[in-house]
């Protein structure tokens, strides 16, 4: 049986990747930084155990810990999702962000290259690495020069380049999945679709037909893709991707963030009064991100299948049922 290691299991990618890989016949080892397997993710750990997955503690910033885990598991494929992916936190804690996203990636790559049989490594990058470009540059191809404009994006661009260097220098099968804006049920309320769905669900529970919704810049355009589609793309990249390549993963169609509010208004019949919240604005914010996914389709055959409206509805239902 094929063996896969998911690093960063409790993030949005990890929790959906696990069943995707099980369906493909993999045995799984998943990792966590929480040795007690408790807190908000306790149910995820219980589900992982019930499915027969081994759960190991792993801190990607601890080189010895990473080497011990990878040498023990001997995976055929590694999915590295252990990134600090909050842009706002990256502005507050740039050192933590660089340690996790850059040093962590290098630690995983170093441990993988020391294996007798080097595993396939898929690193979860970000469309934010590209930074702002003129509107005629969209959709963005993988050969567009990255111009990151925030700490998170810069750290991810560096990690992506390290993946390419390791692939070339050590002949490793390492690929970067440069995902654009992912969304799905269970996503943290730190992210915009989940945040808006939570606010609408709270209003619905209170029986309101009008309510104040607090927003950041809703005029920027983003390329939102359902995480359930994204994990299928990541599986295909691990199987069919070319070593050293970067693959954009996105819907290929950007929409203004205000479109999410319009979808939720249509679903709920609730009319929000829009209020700008200074805490939700970034110091710098690219006006648009949109992926060109031709290379991904050409190499793997992947296309997104879940409409944005379905994604928003499912996240809204999640927050309606959540006791949060």
Question: Do 71 and 170 fall into the same domain?
Answer: yes
pLDDT of residue 136: 86
Question: Do 230 and 96 fall into the same domain?
Answer: yes
- Residue partners of 181: CB distance under 8 A and separation at least 6: 127, 192, 222, 223, 224, 225, 250, 289
Number of domains in the chain: 2
Question: Do 90 and 234 fall into the same domain?
Answer: yes
User: Domain holding 265: CATH number?
Assistant: 3.90.25.10
Per-residue pLDDT tens digits for 81-129 = 999 988 889 999 999 999 999 999 999 999 999 999 999 999 999 999 9
Question: Do 11 and 140 fall into the same domain?
Answer: yes
Distance CA 227, CA 225 (A): 6
pLDDT of residue 49: 75
Supply the range of the domain harboring residue 109.
Answer: 2-183+224-253+290-306
Question: Do 123 and 199 fall into the same domain?
Answer: no
Query: What is the average pLDDT score of the chain?
Result: 92
Question: Do 9 and 49 fall into the same domain?
Answer: yes
CB 291 within 8 A of CB 127: yes
Question: Do 158 and 209 fall into the same domain?
Answer: no
pLDDT exceeds 80 at position 263: yes
Question: Do 135 and 197 fall into the same domain?
Answer: no
User: Domain holding 34: CATH number?
Assistant: 3.40.50.720
Closest to 217 (Cα-Cα) out of 297, 132, 142: 132
Hey, what are 151's tokens?
């700490």
CB 28 within 8 A of CB 6: yes
Per-residue pLDDT tens digits for 186-244 = 998 989 999 999 999 999 999 988 899 999 999 999 999 999 999 999 999 999 999 99
* Residue pointed to by tokens 């995902």: 179
Average pLDDT, integer, range 3-28? 91
3-state SS string over 212-244?
Answer: EEEECCCCCEECEEEHHHHHHHHHHHHHHCCCC
pLDDT of residue 50: 64
The tally of CA atoms less than 13 A away on the side-chain side of residue 112 is: 30
């Amino acid at each position: 049986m094929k063996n896969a290691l998911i690093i960063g299991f409790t993030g949005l990618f990890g929790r959906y990747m696990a069943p995707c890989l099980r369906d493909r016949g993999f045995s799984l080892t998943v990792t966590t930084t929480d040795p007690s397997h408790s807190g908000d993710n306790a149910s995820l750990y219980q589900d992982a155990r019930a499915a027969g997955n081994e759960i190991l503690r792993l801190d990607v910033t601890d080189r010895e810990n990473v080497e011990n885990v990878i040498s023990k598991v001997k995976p055929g494929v590694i999915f590295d999702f252990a990134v600090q992916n909050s842009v706002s936190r990256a502005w507050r804690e740039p050192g933590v962000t660089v340690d996790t996203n850059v040093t962590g990636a290098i630690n995983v790559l170093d441990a993988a290259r020391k294996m007798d049989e080097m595993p396939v490594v898929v690193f979860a990058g970000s469309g934010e690495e590209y930074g702002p470009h003129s509107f005629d540059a969209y959709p963005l191809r993988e050969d567009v020069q990255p111009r990151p404009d925030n700490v998170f994006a810069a750290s991810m661009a560096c990690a992506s380049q390290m993946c390419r260097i390791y692939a070339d220098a050590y002949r490793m099968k390492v690929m970067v999945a440069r995902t654009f804006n992912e969304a799905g049920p269970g996503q943290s309320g730190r992210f915009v679709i989940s945040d808006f769905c939570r606010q609408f669900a709270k209003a619905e529970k209170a029986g309101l037909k009008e309510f104040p919704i607090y927003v950041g810049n809703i005029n920027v355009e983003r390329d939102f893709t359902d995480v359930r589609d994204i994990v299928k793309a990541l599986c295909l990249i691990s199987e069919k991707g070319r070593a050293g390549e970067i693959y954009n993963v996105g819907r290929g169609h950007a929409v203004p963030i205000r479109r999410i509010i319009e979808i939720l208004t249509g679903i709920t019949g609730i009319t929000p009064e829009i209020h700008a919240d200074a805490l939700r604005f970034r110091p710098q914010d690219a006006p648009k991100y949109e992926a060109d996914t031709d290379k991904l389709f050409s190499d793997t055959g992947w296309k997104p299948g879940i409409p944005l409206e379905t994604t928003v509805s499912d996240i809204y239902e999640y927050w309606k049922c959540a006791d949060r």
